[in-house]
């Protein structure tokens, strides 16, 4: 059965040569087409579309093989092109090969093994170039998709940056408000990790704010104050008076809910 995916066109003005070529490749499974001139071959190409390989005689009336294959190259550049010639005048053929219009030159009378080899090599070359073309198309499509993703990601990142900047602005505003309070303030999450501390609170504890933020309250606060965090696990409010290095302070501890999560708030007021 013929391989419809591997179409080969032989062009020669000598019909006995075309019959010989057809017989030679009859068992190879190729879809073989023949034409008696360059003009006839061009009509066949126009009617049937692209061929993987065109093998043409050089000396033909009206349009020689080099002229014909140059036209094939211009209109169907993917098609591989091979030329046959029984003449010693190979100058034009060599020139065409050097210009890249023709893949190989085979002298008449040809050696069957050489012709088989050249045809297989030309078809392998076609398949390799077709794979490369497919890869280029796939790469171009992947690049287009990547560009769309990058644009989308850039928009998401820009939106996220704006959100973070807004949150930072809000946090800065909240911190400024806390620093303006006439009392000490310590805020932590439900597990006791300190997330906020104002200036007065750090001064009362005699600890820098950098040491407090992100630390576990039970490990950095005085023991008497740290026990309040354990008590807040059992109740929502604790109030007592304790003595710090800065003096006696009144402590009010509260457990509140923020965005469906527990938060612990400690306020420190200087005792009268």
> Cis omega (within 30 of 0) on the bond before 109?
yes
CA distances from 46 to 41, 43, 161, 211 (A): 9, 5, 58, 82
Residues 21, 109 contacting (CB under 8 angstroms): no
Q: What is the CATH number of the domain that holds 217?
A: 3.30.450.20
Dump the DSSP string for 139-185.
Answer: HHHHHHHHHHHHHHHHHHHHHHHHHHHHHHHHHHHHHHHHHHSSSEE
Q: Does 40 reside within a domain?
A: yes
Q: Does 22 reside within a domain?
A: yes
Domain count across the chain: 2
- Give the chain's residues under pLDDT 50: 1-3
- Domain match, 124 and 185 both: no
Q: What is the CATH number of the domain that holds 106?
A: 3.40.50.2300
Q: How far apart are CA 102 and CA 93, in angstroms?
A: 8
Q: Does 154 reside within a domain?
A: no
pTM here is 0.54
- Domain match, 227 and 128 both: no
- Phi first, then psi: give them for residue 222, nearest 5 degrees: -55, 145
- Domain match, 131 and 187 both: no
pLDDT given at position 2: 43
Sign of the torsion angle spanned by Cα atoms 149, 152, 155, 160: negative
- Domain match, 99 and 35 both: yes
Q: Which domain range does residue 35 map to? A: 3-137
pLDDT given at position 35: 95
- Domain match, 89 and 35 both: yes
- Domain match, 127 and 198 both: no
Q: How far apart are CA 66 and CA 105, in angstroms?
A: 11
pLDDT given at position 76: 92
Q: How far apart are CA 82 and CA 110, in angstroms?
A: 13
């Amino acid at each position: 059965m013929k391989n419809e995916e591997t179409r080969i066109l032989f062009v020669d003005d000598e019909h006995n040569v075309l019959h010989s070529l057809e017989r030679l490749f009859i068992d190879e499974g190729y879809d073989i087409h023949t034409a008696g001139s360059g003009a006839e071959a061009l009509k066949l190409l126009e009617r049937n579309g692209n061929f993987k390989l065109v093998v043409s005689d050089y000396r033909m009336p009206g349009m020689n093989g080099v002229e014909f294959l140059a036209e094939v190259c211009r209109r169907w550049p993917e098609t591989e092109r091979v030329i046959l010639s029984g003449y010693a005048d190979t100058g034009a053929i060599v020139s065409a090969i050097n210009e890249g219009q023709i893949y190989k030159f085979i002298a008449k009378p040809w050696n069957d093994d050489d012709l088989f080899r050249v045809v297989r090599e030309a078809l392998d070359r076609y398949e390799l170039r077709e794979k490369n073309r497919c890869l280029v198309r796939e790469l171009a499509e992947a690049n287009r998709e990547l560009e769309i993703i990058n644009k989308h990601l850039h928009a998401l990142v820009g939106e996220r940056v704006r959100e973070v900047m807004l949150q930072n602005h809000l946090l800065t505003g909240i911190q400024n408000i806390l620093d303006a309070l006439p009392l000490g303030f310590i805020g932590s999450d439900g597990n006791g990790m300190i997330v906020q501390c104002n200036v007065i609170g750090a001064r009362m504890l005699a600890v820098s704010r950098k040491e407090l933020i992100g630390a576990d309250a039970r490990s950095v606060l005085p023991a008497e104050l740290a026990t309040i965090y354990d008590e807040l696990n059992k109740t929502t409010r604790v109030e007592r008076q304790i003595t710090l290095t800065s003096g006696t302070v009144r402590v009010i501890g509260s457990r509140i809910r923020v965005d469906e999560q527990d938060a612990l708030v400690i306020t420190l007021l200087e005792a009268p």
